Amino acid sequence: MNRMGVVGCGVMGAGVAEIGAKGGCDVVVVDMFPEALEKAQARMAASLAKAEEKGKLGEPAANILARIRWSSDLADLADREFVTEVIRESLDDKVELIGRLDDILSDDAIIASNTSSIPIAQLAAASRIPGRVLGTHYFNPVPVMPLVEVVSAIQTDPSVADRTAEFCADVLGKKVIRAKDRSGFVVNAILVPYLLDAIRSLENGVASKEDIDEGMVSGCGMPMGPLTLCDMIGLDTMLLVSESLYAEHLEHRFAPPALLKRHVEAGMFGRKSGRGFYDYS
């Protein structure tokens, strides 16, 4: 597989497009919002410039960028072999998109979802060829974090999962783990309760946000504190993920704390909106 498509170019989508182009693929990125495409191009150019400066690229960043086409028309994905959807975490939006991709792509193209918490079976059920749908869950920042979880739904054709795992490892340069189709897969099912506990600690007045973060960085060797990480993931995303996990498992550890909901209602989404638990303005 060499012709890759990416739908949705927020932070995660741009990251997936970047590793695809870095791996030598011809990449088409589609987002219906022209300003999102512009932002993603700037973000990717900065990310690649940083990698180039540190000697992390095997070729000039300009060559990598030249392998990417940017579009706001889904029809430009018609000849793609491997399409990853990285749109917002909404079942309705993803189901609608998969239906539209079905009309555009050839029958042997693979549709991968970067959902972090929606069961893949629900997405596969939206396709007229459910066997071609699976999950590929990346981690933020995608060009830096080595992992991808490859998730098969009960409908996924095993050869689609095998080809995808091989592609992620050999072309995208990722470490692959296989996960069952349970909301949260392997990593978020463990990580999200930890992050929600940090929010609950803040809510309960156990310590200041700075001290909660310092505790986990200096006490446990985490690369960043949990509240800083929540701001990086996006508090709106954190809320959607925790709601999906709670709906699936019905366990208190996945329930969104009121403080998280209040931040989202206030439009404080974290780094992307300039303010979350911390102020980035």
Query: H or E element: which one contains 67?
Result: none
Q: Which residue among the candidates 116, 152, 183, 244 is catalytic per the annotation?
A: 116
Position among 136, 155, 188, 273 found at the interface with ligand 3HC (CB under 6 A) = 188
The answer to whether residue 188 is catalytic is: yes
149 classed as catalytic: yes
Candidate list 149, 183, 242, 273, residue with the active-site label:
149
The binding track of 201-230 with respect to ligand 3HC, each residue x by CB under 6 A or -, is ----------------------xx----x-
How far, in Å, CA of 98 to CA of 176, rounded? 24
Nearer to ligand 3HC, 41 or 140 (CB): 140
Task: Return the number of the residue (139 or 167) whose C-beta is nearest ligand 3HC.
Answer: 139
Burial of 83 (0-12, 13-18, 19+ CB in 10 A): buried
Cα distance from N-terminal residue to C-terminal residue, the chain: 42
The count of other CB atoms within 10 Å of the CB of residue 76 is 16
- Could you give the CA distance from residue 11 to residue 141 in angstroms, rounded to a whole number? 8
CB of 158 or CB of 223, closer to ligand 3HC: 223
Site string for ligand 3HC, 22-61 (x = CB under 6 A): -------------------------xx-xx--x-x-----
Half-sphere exposure at residue 24, Cβ-oriented, CA atoms within 13 angstroms:
8
**Environment class of residue 138 by beta-carbon count within 10 Å: exposed (0-12), middle (13-18) or buried (19+)?**
buried
242 is catalytic: no
Task: Report the site for ligand 3HC in 74-133 (rule: CB under 6 A).
Answer: 116
Catalytic residues: 116, 137, 149, 188
